[in-house]
């Protein structure tokens, strides 16, 4: 049995803090949410969600508490993986 070493190419995106990772013929994105970041839900752009806290569950999975900036009583707990997935949420660029 032989081990193959694959070189990874990593590029940081200046727009949203994502790290695009390419290993062999596989490509993916790794992102880390931060308190204060704001996101739009894909398909429901009337809601702006702000990360107010981040925690880790017993399995080591990071979760973010997000709040609707227009209704602070509307609060959700969501996995960081889901929040940073561009299929579900889009990070709003600061500016």
Question: Domains of the chain: which residue ranges?
Answer: 1-30, 38-91
* pLDDT tens-digit series, residues 28-73: 555 789 999 999 999 987 889 999 999 999 999 999 999 999 999 9
| pTM greater than the 0.85 cutoff | no
Instruction: Categorize the per-residue pLDDT at 7 as very low, low, confident or very high, splitting at 50, 70 and 90.
Output: very low
Q: What per-residue confidence (pLDDT) applies to 44?
A: 84
Q: What is the percentage of the chain residues whose pLDDT exceeds 90?
A: 55
Q: Higher model confidence: residue 93 or residue 19?
A: 93
Measured distance CA(22)–CA(17) in Å, rounded: 16
The torsion of the CA quartet 83, 86, 22, 37, rounded to 10 degrees, works out to -50
Q: Tokens at residue 39, please?
A: 């996101």
CB atoms within 10 A of CB 83: 23
Measured distance CA(72)–CA(14) in Å, rounded: 30
Measured distance CA(50)–CA(65) in Å, rounded: 8
Sign of CA dihedral 53, 15, 91, 78: negative
């Amino acid at each position: 049995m032989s081990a193959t070493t694959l070189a990874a190419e990593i590029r940081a995106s200046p727009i949203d803090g994502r790290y695009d990772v390419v290993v062999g013929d596989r490509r993916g994105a790794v992102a880390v949410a931060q308190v204060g970041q704001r996101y739009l839900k894909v398909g429901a752009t009337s809601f702006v969600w702000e990360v107010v806290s981040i925690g880790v569950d017993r399995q080591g999975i990071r979760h973010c508490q997000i709040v609707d900036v227009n209704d602070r009583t509307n609060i959700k707990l969501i996995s960081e993986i889901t929040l940073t997935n561009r299929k579900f949420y889009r990070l709003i660029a600061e500016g």
